[in-house]
Amino acid sequence: MGGRDARVTPNPAEKVRVESRFFPLGPDDPRMVASYPLHARLGAGGMGNVYLAFTPGGRAIAIKVVRPEFAADEEFRRRFRQEIAAAQRVQGLYTATVVDADADAPTPWMATAYVAGPSLQQAVAGQGPFAASMVFRLTGAVAEALSTIHAARLIHRDLKPSNVLLAADGPRVIDFGIAWAADVTAVTRPGVRVGTPAFMSPEQVRGRPATPATDVFALGQLAVYAATGRPAFGEGLEAALLYRILNESPDLDGCPPALRDLAARCLAKDAEARPDLAEIIEVARAESGDPTPDLAGSWLPDALAATLPAYDPVRPPEERPATPEPGTAGARPAPAASPQPPTIAPHASPPAASPASPPVTPHASPATLPVAGPPPRRGVPTGAVVGIAAASVIGTAVVVGALTSGPGGHGPGPTSSSAPTSGAAVAGSGGSPATAPTPAPTATYLQEFTGVRFTLPGGGCFTNGFDFDEQGPTVNTDVSGAAGMPLEYIGCGFGSPSIQVHAGEVAMVTGDLDGAACETAVTRQPAGGGPSFSELRRGAEMCYMNDDRVVFMKLVARSPSSYALTWTATSWSRPKSG
């Protein structure tokens, strides 16, 4: 991320608050989860603790680890397995992307993209209520996130201020710990309440099944909280709070006049009377003061935006030990006299409790978090994915985008590549290109096509799926067809559209790379969920890799009005092992 060296320092009170995002690991915290070294603790919830880690390419991730006392509970493990499956089915601009997971490990865990920003709860507590325009932008973006969740046949059920994180490019809805598939009829145990009392809907209070309208009620609560700094039905004793939710009108004093009507309709006792998400998105867009709002870099108040750099967990230069450290996967067993902190290994018995506590890491700022060597590279899980909710999509086009040859056409025939192009560079995490290392010239990459031009047309609410085969790119603008493709370019009104990666990996690069250099770039510097429109400038270069091929892409045109992106692509087949 550019500008990391020019951090904005908030006032001392704000600095204490935002730096509490990172807590040092304690003696009972693991130091490894599978192949990921842990660097700090981010928080704790009903299911377990959340830790900060990094992918091999340096992208920050949040790893949720189930509490050991629950890991042996089959019902709890089943619920966590559902959580992983649910999160993998939700692929949207305003939800945290799943990076890796293991529901069958002795201590189950799930890793999602780290969101560099405070929760709505923290922001309102520290900065006060938001202005009306920001409340509408927040409401529209969260409504879009819920549309994506509902399109995956899920209901969040626990939408609240602490489950909405505020990043520079828009909010992210997180925590699907109690988001069950809508077609599951009996998941919750008798006597177990699903939801947070202050933000529960009347049907949840009565113990009735949740529907998408349940999340609309919570969204109304969220909007009132952002505008006033308090829940719409107040606080206090749980019994009194639940009574007010069932029997009294919401307290909308202090809400901007334009928000009152929308909030009152969202908070209707009758679920059928609540507006649908598509209508909420349209109202929010109209009331935000900008018909085509671009949240990136502009949507947060200056005082709140100034705190964001302290949430950026910059990893120091890697320190690779000559031999494996004790307590990590693949290391020699440590002597009995020197017990190590626990390690959560995949599909292995949980480690015995350490008889002696290791020293607690001193509290570190995000810029100086302790670092271990990078873990072995892991693939991003693949699976069924869905696009924007049908309610948010109007007039989608049909099937394949037109392809035209670039200056080189399809080329004269297969050519080979066994080393990266001289001077090629991989875009580093700080925005400055880092020279791509040269792999051993032993593998042969056969060129499939070169300079083929294709366009992702964008639009209003859109889902553009795309893929590559040996003939060239394929583009699908139909929502149902695009949902099954490994790459999607999606957007809907609020925020900056982005490329979502469901199979394979991408990396932003600099220089005309060949097949070998592209593979090296993706291996060393994966871009995780893919870049957003606001991050892509004309001339931007990106490598994509899957099991069969590597593709070098260059952006030759972009349209700020329609969000259309036009690329040229060159592809090589990957060498087959054996």
64 is in an annotated binding site: yes
CA 22 to chain centre: 19
Distance spanning both ends of the chain, measured CA to CA: 39
| Measured distance CA(253)–CA(334) in Å, rounded | 63
List, in sequence order, every beta strand (DSSP E) within 36-131.
36-37, 40-44, 48-54, 60-66, 98-102, 109-113
- The residue type of 525 is Q
Question: To which H or E segment does residue 88 belong?
Answer: helix 74-89
Query: Which residues share a beta bridge with 342?
Result: none
- Which of these is catalytic: 100, 158, 169, 467? 158
Question: To which H or E segment does residue 516 belong?
Answer: helix 515-524
Question: Which two structure tokens, joined as six digits, stand for 547?
Answer: 């099991």
| Measured distance CA(120)–CA(229) in Å, rounded | 10
| 10-19 contact pairs (CB < 8 A, 24+) | 10/306, 10/307, 10/310, 14/126, 14/306, 14/307, 15/310, 17/122, 17/126, 17/307, 18/118, 18/307, 18/310, 18/311, 19/310, 19/365, 19/366
Q: Is the dihedral of CA 548, 550, 553, 559 positive or negative?
A: positive
Instruction: Identify whether the C-beta of residue 165 lies closer than 8 Å to the C-beta of residue 124.
Output: no
Q: What is the dihedral of CA 333, 334, 336, 339, to 10 degrees?
A: -120
Neighbours of 364 (CB within 10 A): 16
Q: Is the dihedral of CA 279, 281, 287, 293 positive or negative?
A: negative
In 108-156, which ranges are continuous DSSP H helix? 120-127, 132-151
158: annotated active-site residue: yes
Catalytic residues: 158
Binding-site residues for ATP, in ranges, read 64
Binding-site residues, in ranges, read 64
